[in-house]
Structure 1
Amino acid sequence: MPMPPADELSAEQQAAARRITAGPRGAVFGPFVPLLRSPQAMEHLQRLGAYLRFASPLPKKIFEMLVLLVARKWDQDFEWTYHLPLARAAGLSDESIAALSRRSTPPDLAPSEQSAYDIVVELLAHKAVSDATFDAGIELLGPQSVVDVVVTAGYYSTLAMVMNTAQTPPPAPTSLPG
């Protein structure tokens, strides 16, 4: 689903595109191109994503690790490619990135990072989280961050499903952040 020509956008789509362009993303790209077909859904999702990416208290290293984890789970190359430089900038090691690429547990995670990883891996594999994993998450991350971990995985799973359906290609190297 490529970007529709500007003259074919409805007034609602044009307004939604202006609002997303005026925000921290600065453009309609990636998942927001197919989502523009449903401008209300796009705006609700992009607000959630803006909170998770720019305002959540979840440490950036954990956030970016989770994005890469979900991207590999869904074989989503746009998210993987786009977030790879962000993960490096957030402090995720090359060894951790390589492990995530292989769908393996990163070798050098701090306890809070391991806890976030475990929550999402269990959810994606079993559709539930064990009491021990949940309790460790509450202890190491706190209740708000446990919720933000789960919402991050759900949000990026949604974007992955949209982009996999729309066959969104990976971003060009010149459009990568960082």
Structure 2
Amino acid sequence: MADGDTPADIYADSFCRLPMPDRETMDDRSKAAYDRLADPNTQSRVGLQGPGTIQLHSNKVSEHSSGLNRYLRTEAGFDEDVLELAILVAAREMDSKFEWAAHEPAAIDAGVPAETIDVVRFKKPTDGLSETETLIIEFGRQLFRERRIDADRYAAARALFGDKRLVDFVILITQYSATALVLRAFDMQPKAGLDYNLPVEEV
């Protein structure tokens, strides 16, 4: 177990409430998933410390979840700035420091303006943002806060994305909200080297 200020039920090898999966006991597909997470040249932003490692304890969950994640991030056709802004909105609304820290650098690299990121980070009004940025942020805020999307906002999102990509967009933000809950349940600890600068009200 970990020491110091880390909770007593956290494993030192995985930084969460489950131990690091044993690669040698995995089937071939799970070994391949493990190796993708461990490879610094793959798409994983957090490697073996993150949701992917938790999911490896259930090989079918890992297989299907990683496949969906890969599709949404690399095959659905979202521009990188749209993709990363949507993920930040989900992270912000779920108060997910881990996801925010993992994806804020990616959003910056994708060209999301610092002012837009701060609107999301500090829950500011969207005045002055582009039409697309405003729609992504306000859509996410309404869905997570009110558990609904009003007719006008839905129509605007459908006009922007089209039917297929609108489905992909909604699945994207809800997938990352689900991941936030997984990280909470298993108490994933902060990853060294990431900047945890998302203000949240601790309970």
Asked if these proteins are the same fold (TM beyond 0.5), I'd say yes
TM-score normalized by structure 1? 0.84
Write 1 or 2 for the structure with the bigger share of helix: 1
* Number of the residue aligned with 2:68: 48
> Does residue 90 in structure 1 map to residue 110 in structure 2?
yes
**What is the CA distance between 1:41 and its match in structure 2?**
0.8
Q: CA RMSD in A?
A: 2.5
Distance 1:106 1:172 in 2: 32
Could you say which structure has the greater relative contact order, defined with CA pairs below 8 angstroms and 6 or more residues apart? 1
> Which secondary structure does the structure 1 equivalent of 2:191 belong to?
coil
When residues 6 and 105 of structure 1 are mapped into structure 2, their CA distance, relative to the original with a 3 A threshold, is same
Matches within 5 A, 1:1-178: 2=11, 3=14, 4-5=19-20, 7=22, 10-12=25-27, 15-22=29-36, 24-25=42-43, 27-173=47-193
Aligned length: 174
> Which secondary structure does the structure 2 equivalent of 1:109 belong to?
coil
When residues 136 and 94 of structure 1 are mapped into structure 2, their CA distance, relative to the original with a 3 A threshold, is same
Could you tell me whether the CA contact under 8 Å between 1:71 and 1:160 is conserved in 2?
yes
**Deviation string, structure 1 residues 78-115 (Cα, Å, up to 9, x no partner):** 11111011000111111111221112244553212322
Q: Which moved more, 1:154-163 or 1:119-128?
A: 119-128
When residues 106 and 88 of structure 1 are mapped into structure 2, their CA distance, relative to the original with a 3 A threshold, is farther
* Number of the residue aligned with 2:3: none
TM-score normalized by structure 2? 0.75
**What is the CA distance between 1:7 and its match in structure 2?**
4.4
Distance 1:48 1:110 in 2: 29
Identity %: 24
**Deviation string, structure 1 residues 143-178 (Cα, Å, up to 9, x no partner):** 22211221111110111000011111232227xxxx
**What is the CA distance between 1:32 and its match in structure 2?**
1.2
**What is the CA distance between 1:19 and its match in structure 2?**
2.7
Q: Which amino acid aligns with 2:33?
A: R
